[in-house]
Amino acid sequence: MGVKRTLQSIAKTLGLTQAAKLWLSGEDMSGKTPDRPNKPYKQVELVFRCVEKLISSITSLPLVLSTVNEEIIESGPAYDLLFNSSLTFEDFITQTVGHYALTRDVFWVFTETAGMQPTQIQVVSGTQMHPITSDGTPNGDLVGWEYRAGNYRKRFALFEVHQIKNFNPYDKFHGIGPISAASLSISQAYQASLFNESALANGAEPGAILMLEGKPDERTIRLIRSQFEARHQGAKNAKRTAALAGIKDIKTVAMSMVDMQMAELRNLSDIRICSAFGVPPAVVGLVTEAQYAHGPAQQDFAVNTMRPLASLIAGHITKAIISRIPASKSQLSAMNTSLKTKPAYKAAKLKAIQRQQKIFAWFDVDSHPTIQAMNREVAKQVLDFTKAGVKLNNLIIAHDLPYEVVPWGDDWWIGMGQVPARYALEAGVEGITGPSLPEGSEERKNKLAKQKIEKADEAQKLRIWRNWVVSWAGIEREYQEALRKFFLRQQRELINKLQKALPDNKVINKAETDEIIARVVFDLKKEGEKITVINRTFFGKAVELGIRQIASELGITGNALNQFVETTKRNAAIRKALTIQSQKIASVNKTTQRLIANQIREGLENGEGLNDLTRRIKKVLGSNRSRALSIARTQTAGAVGSGRHVGMKQAGAELKIWLTSGDSHVRPTHVDAGKRYADGIPVDEPFVVGGDFLMHPGDPAASPANVINCRCVELAAKAKGKAFSLSEYAAMKFFSYADLIDLKKGDNKNV
């Protein structure tokens, strides 16, 4: 009920329409509460996920009290009020950010003061504070505030409160928040959820057309229809077999535009809600493109929402609290590292100087992991310019990198930035290399031996990886070709449907547009079954290949090998991997259908004819060679990896390692995994890669960002007490798809 009252209060303050107020209250226009499974105000769950994300992002940042001379405030009245008072700092920030996120209107009420100096603070929503004007009208001058909570009233002078609000063109005393801007989208989302719930209650199946023989009378039609609905209506009867006397044929009705667009409407409204709060949809768990969700989306939120919000709150802390408290009792401490490398400090310092304030507050946003990762990426790109002869200090200053200017940053460098060029001018070759070591010295021998080993290791890793990728390339090619034919068949059928559905006249209204799209789209259920069959076929080949590979590598041969393969193929983990892969690949058709529907709708609304609409379909499905390759590579590598991993466990392997190709296409997180797990970890422990838990490279249960187009491989590092070296794997021939084909043919002479 607390959430409900809060939203009703917001609606009242912001002057929402009567319909919006009823929506928030869960009542219909008659004032009665309808019989619904869920109250509408419970559908604002996405709103509170956005608000919680804003709160957690700010509360996770350390607040620092500093001086313009790069000194930190360790104690004093301001420090104690913020960190050692009855209102904890976490609650203070949580309540402030929460109210501000929802309404863009929040008050700090100084319930106790010592002169102008606040000693106790209470955070209050703007909906509970009412302006007191000089003439009692909304147009008068503000002279104070009145706090209202039920029948309780208390007045405060202007210096006893501090307000944080944004611009509101309708009310000069209060801000206007995203909750009002998002209310329509929330309503749309709620209506979508009701629609989906009603569809589920009816079995989530399209309607049916019963085709009867002859010319039955109305009574017979009603009887057969009532029998069919009694047997099949409702979720509990979904998927039951139909067997009714007198029925010649049963056809399912294609999904109407309302059906197809409802999910899209829900997604659109969710995105609008997130946009109103400045939170990228991927950050709060809405499904988006995988690469964006695991990188740029987090950076977008950190840079464009978290950083400005932290700066805003810190600025108000400085203005409303620190500026009112004497600084004489504050204890200062100099930092070991310069604060000049902190962009957040520099921005806050500039504002403090402009306001002639010696002490100010700022959030150390730059310590946030997302900002640090972003800074490292920028620094890595910028520092490449040092190879082109640009001085390091110049790069740090020009690009505002989070590093200190260093004395050696003005040197020109030789040998990829390792030796200053002036050394060569001062001392010749030995200025670069150091004094030559005596011929045959142990130090020189050890150094050369180490370099030789490192170079050999990299060459061995590359050779191992190439041999492994080649071993299953044949399955990938066959899978890709099967998918390409699958997409081309869909293209041909959709174009034929379009030719039949498109009328001769060129002027098409909205109702006809919806009808045409409904007649053109394909049956998702049937197409899902077809692509699942394709995946199951190649999954079986790839899994068996992976099992035979690892079994051969661990020394299992002959009849024992064949028995090992058959037993491992029936393992529950293999069945689980296939189930997950099947579920994920079935969504490919949903994506295709959405793209086709959007293209046809856009074309019809632009007045395009059959030829233009055909080109649009070909644009989506005709150029799917790269899409087919990406799907085939991801699914094949994942299936081979699943076979290797389960086989490794069955064969008693103890340690495993993660091996990459080592080229520029490898994800940074996978490069890191290759380094961190080079010495091996227990087979039952997951690889932690980019915050994701993978039992092996290409793990079907992992996030798309970690498996799409992944070409890494899991190798056994130790099995039954025996350690496996890179040199052994480099000399080993992986069991290949060609070997598997020969085996199936009975030609296993060399296997």
Task: Check whether 131 has a pLDDT greater than 80.
Answer: yes
Give the dihedral sign, CA 120/124/128/129. Answer: positive
d(CA 632, CA 573): 21
Question: pLDDT digit string (tens) for 155-175?
Answer: 999 989 999 998 888 888 998
What average pLDDT score do residues 177-195 get? 64
Residues with Cβ within 8 Å of 137's Cβ and at least 6 positions away in sequence, in order, are none
Instruction: Report whether 82 contacts 63 (CB < 8 A).
Output: yes
Instruction: Report whether 177 contacts 14 (CB < 8 A).
Output: yes
What average pLDDT score do residues 371-387 get? 69
- The confidence score (pLDDT) of residue 155 equals 92
Task: Check whether 438 has a pLDDT greater than 60.
Answer: no
Q: Is 691 helix (H, G, I), strand (E, B) or coil?
A: coil
Q: What is the pTM of this model?
A: 0.45
Question: pLDDT digit string (tens) for 665-722?
Answer: 788 889 888 888 988 999 999 998 877 889 999 998 888 888 888 889 999 999 888 8
- C-alpha gyration radius of the chain: 34
- The confidence score (pLDDT) of residue 180 equals 65
Instruction: Report whether 342 contacts 365 (CB < 8 A).
Output: no
What average pLDDT score do residues 438-463 get? 62
Task: Check whether 34 has a pLDDT greater than 50.
Answer: no
Question: pLDDT digit string (tens) for 265-316?
Answer: 556 667 777 887 888 887 777 765 544 545 678 888 888 899 999 999 999 9
* Local structure of residue 106 (DSSP, 8 states): E
Residues with Cβ within 8 Å of 33's Cβ and at least 6 positions away in sequence, in order, are 26, 27
Name the band, by pLDDT with cuts 50, 70 and 90, for residue 39: very low
- The confidence score (pLDDT) of residue 251 equals 66
Number of residues in the chain: 751
